[in-house]
Amino acid sequence: MTSPWAKATEPASAPVAPVVGTDGLTDAQRAVKNDDKHVMFNVEQHREANRNLRQGMGNLNLRGGRLGWQDGPLGFNTTPDAPIMAHVDSRPLLKYNAHIEEPEGIATHKAIVRSDNEALLGVVGEDYQIVQTADVIRAHENAIERAFPADKLRHVYVRDETSRGGAFVKRNYVFPDLVARVSESKRGKYGADTDVMLRSSIYTTHDGHGSAACAFSSIDGFCSNSLVYSHMDIFKRRHTSGFKMPEQQFQTHAEAALERWRDSLALIQAWADYRFTSQQCKELLEALPSISQLRREKMEARFDQEAVRRGQTLWALVSAMTYYASHNDKDSGFGVRGSGKRDNEAETLNKREAEVLVWIQSDPFKRISHQARHAANL
């Protein structure tokens, strides 16, 4: 089976010089210094330094890190040296300024750095517990191997994504042997069908700004849109003191996710069969929570594009939403702001998936979805 995801895209860039602990830093970067044992923190410049950290420091290692889909067995066994597996460690914080002769320790916080190049990923509270990416991925893949039929794991497409130099890391899996065909012939102009496959993702952060989480979704074989739909729980665990890798919960979640994905296929087909006009689309978008007027207008335009292939259906609107969550496309008005200069694409698209989930789970959408279910006798 030829996959549209198997073609590799531009690989992540080669490692760059460490941002901390080097000479020749900019004024903002000089606010953080590293002597391989401590991170020196200039209290007079901390605001500017924090602002730069939130922006990814411009060119940290792994900048632009969206690798192409790779075909093979589950990823951990075949890619243990993948860039996202980089080990992270903590360093004590020392504060200093022009009025402090000897640097003073900061007992309430610590720095998180990449062990391979000492690049600073973030400053976190003392109770923050480091969870290595490799451990999270291993637990997730072990759970999938126990939960899914072995014949459905012969081919797995794997793609890694990062933002902010590795402060945000994500691994995606598509299972082409877990696939169902959705017919778009009833309403679609070209009488086409599309394959919907099961997708899973596991992601974590190393700067205190997120949880270790896994999610399951459907991915459209025609355009690679991915839908974390309302039936799927997103399982999260925060990096707090006492954190333990919840391997049994991972497995239970994977087993339930597989069944829910199978149950959801009939609903997707109902969406594809349900006639939904441009006016209805406009009215529904106006009723959805947390969506700006500009975003609604761009979504209406995307709905019209999706309807060319899929017909004017509820599925076309869902596809417009998932296109927004899956693509950094300035031409459609869905560009990731600042991605040309900042390493933020992967994390922003991950947040967009959560936005779409809010829309799909909202009462206005559920009312229309219920009508589609009723029309399909579900």
Q: What is the pLDDT of residue 108?
A: 87
What's the pTM value of the predicted model, to 2 decimals?
A: 0.77
Q: Is 360 left (phi over 0), alpha (psi -120 to 50) or beta?
A: alpha
What is the per-residue pLDDT for 97? 64
Tell me what pLDDT residue 273 has. Answer: 93
| Domain ranges for the chain | 132-155+177-192+211-378
* 3-state DSSP assignment of residue 304: helix
Q: Please tell me the least confidently modeled range out of 48-62, 222-236, 280-294.
A: 48-62
Residue 100's pLDDT is: 63
Q: Convert the pLDDT of each residue in 288-337 to its tens digit.
A: 999 999 999 999 999 999 998 889 999 999 999 999 998 998 888 899 98
DSSP output for 37-93: S-EEEETTSHHHHHHHHHTTTTT-TTTT-BPPPEEES-HHHH-TT-GGG--EEEEEE
Least confident among 82-91, 266-275, 350-359:
82-91
What is the rounded average pLDDT for all residues in the chain? 76
Q: What is the pLDDT of residue 242?
A: 61
Residues 6+ apart with CB under 8 A from 377: none
Distance CA 113, CA 211 (A): 17
| Predicted local confidence at residue 312, as pLDDT | 93
Cα separation values, 330 from 298, 338, 340, Å? 11, 11, 11
Sheet strand arrangement including 120-125: 32-34, 39-42, 88-96, 104-114, 120-125
Q: Can you say whether residue 21 is alpha, beta or left, with left for phi > 0 and alpha for psi between -120 and 50 degrees?
A: left
Q: Which tokens go with 349?
A: 């698209």
Q: Note whether 153 and 74 are within 8 A (CB).
A: yes
H or E element in which residue 146 lies: helix 133-147
pLDDT band at 234 (very low <50, low <70, confident <90, very high): low
Highest mean pLDDT: which range of 96-110, 203-217, 257-271: 257-271
